[in-house]
A and B are shown apart, each in its own frame.
Chain A
Amino acid sequence: MTGEPEVDALVADRYLDALLAAVDRHADDTPADAALDPDLRAAARVLRASLVRVHPSFRFEERLAGRLAALAAAQSRPALAAAGGGPGTISAFPGSGPSPLDADPLLAAILLGELDPTDEAAVLHAGAALPGPGARRPLIVGGAITSAAISLVGVAYVAWRASRPTVGRSNRAMARAARAARARRAAGALSSIVGGHGGPA
């Protein structure tokens, strides 16, 4: 050891690079700088041998592949799926189980582009707002309603929403409905004022 933390760390790092690359040669060890602490070197060899990469079960791999395929299909044909039919109608993959939104309540917000899954602070904040396991009530995340009951069509709708360009006025269904109701009320009031046939109240 040199006694300089950065230098010692660099020496160890170079040794680890070589040690991990030696796996391809089926070598147990590789030459190291004399400055490297022998105990550190031995610990690195133990870790390399012990920390094996574990593969999940084939059943899990295929089940998740099915779920990803379902989500991918919903993303590929979002408009058709949101319309609820047509030649490109989405059908769940065999064995794909419930909606991907069930597996992850933050997925809708990510699909909408309202949550960056690599943003540590944002994900932690959103995760902290989620109900605990077993809670089944709907949840509003970033303006998207998610619940255990949302189906693949829900995923398709969210993907479709995410793919729509945002314009000046809100496109949200609730906003559209509110605008329509306001317009109907205004039309009714105007009709009664001018003595017309009246309109919806």
Chain B
Amino acid sequence: MAGPVFGRRERATEASVVVLDRDRLLVEAARRDPTQFDALYRKYLAQVYAYAIYELGDHHSAEDASERIFLRALAALPRFREQARPEDGPEASTFRVWLFRIARNVVANERRSRRRRPAASLEAALGAGLAIPDGTDIEADAVTRDEASHALRALNALPDDRRRALTLRFVDEMTTAEIAAVLGRSEGAVRVLIHRALGAVARDLGRDRGTATPADELGGTP
């Protein structure tokens, strides 16, 4: 197995080699033996599927897209090159970024071929998965579901690039740097994109509730 090549600070401290891609071992194993790709698949299936369902709005399309994404990733794995930078930190996973770039393209093709937005079916597709009610307070659960429903509508009302950035940030819990790599933009541009998207969602949530702003609904935030 090839040794880590990133994060090697200097010869004197060669012992403190930093492995930047947290998936490096799994990727190396899958490259040697493609049947080992299963570990990467199991690790990222939920993230990829969740991204696809928020983008496409129904389970069947999300399953088809997920299938294509993983088949393409496995087929292209021999040509994957790690590009982590020391400043990306120990949690960086360039494999995840690479996988989501494949996902972005598969989903974009699917959306383009359908020529429609998923707004109508996303809420129904997510169904009982909308937020997680705690089950002990029926009134609070109803508020939670109502809030989730408003949030999904607000998300779907966003332009594509803003919606995609928010989905990657909140659903897939990516850092701004990772989102920038997936979307092919600078980190600063992604930060501004997310900030504007949040502003639009805040206004939308405020409109849905009449005069009350989301801050009022949540009991006010300092």
Which residues in A have some Cβ–Cβ distance to B below 8 Å? 5-6, 8-10, 12-13, 16-17, 20, 29, 32, 34, 37-56, 60-61, 64-65, 67-69, 71-73, 75-76, 100, 103-104, 106-107, 110-111, 113, 116-120, 123-124, 127-128, 132
Contact = CB atoms under 8 A, between A and B. Distances in A.
A75 B74 contact: yes
Main secondary structure of the interface of A (DSSP, over half): helix
B72 A69 contact: no
Contact of A52 (B66, B129, B147, B195): B129
A60 to B, nearest CB: 5
A68 B151 contact: no
Nearest to B151: A50
Interface string B30-73: 00011111100110011101100110000100111011101111
B167 A51 contact: yes
B105 A52 contact: no
Given A29-B221, A64-B70, A53 B46 contact: yes
How big is chain B's contact interface, by range? 35 or more
B63 A60 contact: yes
Query: Do most interface residues of chain B lie in helix, strand or loop, or is the interface mixed?
Result: helix
Interface stretch (B2-10, B13-21, B209-217): B209-217
B38 A65 contact: yes
Contacts of B66: 56, 60, 64
A160 B54 CA distance: 37
11 contacts: A6-B192, A12-B191, A38-B221, A38-B222, A39-B206, A42-B217, A42-B221, A52-B129, A76-B33, A123-B109, A124-B108
